[in-house]
Amino acid sequence: MISGSHFRLYRAGNGDAICEQGEHVSQLYLLVKGKATVSYIAENGNKLIVSFKQAFELFGDIEYIKQMDALHTVEAASEVYLIGIPIDSLHTYAASYPPFLQLLLREVTEKFQLKSKAFSFSLTHGALTRLASYLFRIMSEYDGKRLTGSLPINRTGDIADHIGTTSRHVNRLLTTLAKEGIIERSNSAISIKDWEKLEQLASRSIYA
């Protein structure tokens, strides 16, 4: 961590929590490099990945405006670097600064647009298309490059929660994708074999 008068620079590794749902929000974060997931834990314990974020996204803007605890959990999905700006500094120096307020308005508006888009997609597309869209997004690097690595097979529970189905159904869908030569599936991992077919099946990526 590197600190300045009114900011801190953070580095987080893949899987590290940046903020936890329900905790007090003391900073506004700007993601400057890498990719992060935004998730929500329901009352029944199910985890839903709401969106994927990359540079230059803000975290904590809604919480700052509403003065509330964190709505979601944010986790690094790769090595990430963030700038943290203490809420106290924002209250003192930026709360009445028009360009900052315009930035918050744009960010919040975009979040609601993306949520509406994702909800509409989930209602109008089948589970196989939603799975393909999920795989295409999560296995693409933040800078647009495609991962050559693999997705752990034990993530099927998270995938099921995210696309709104069961782990058993996700396993059946993965088997279908493997038979079609789109993915390769082993006992421990999933890897993409045919990106072009996966992108076609995904229709369009909803997980911005």
Q: Which residues contact 15 (CB under 8 A, 6 or more apart)?
A: 75, 76
3-state per-residue secondary structure call for 182-207: CEEECCCEEEECCHHHHHHHHCCCCC
| Mean pLDDT computed over 131-138 | 80
Q: What is the pLDDT of residue 142?
A: 44
Cα(79)–Cα(129) distance, integer angstroms: 28
CB neighbour list of residue 128: distance below 8 Å, 6 or more residues apart: 173, 176, 177, 201
pLDDT tens readout for residues 114-131: 666 655 555 555 788 888
Tell me if residue 134 falls in helix, strand or coil. helix
pTM of the model: 0.58
**pLDDT greater than 70 at residue 63:** yes
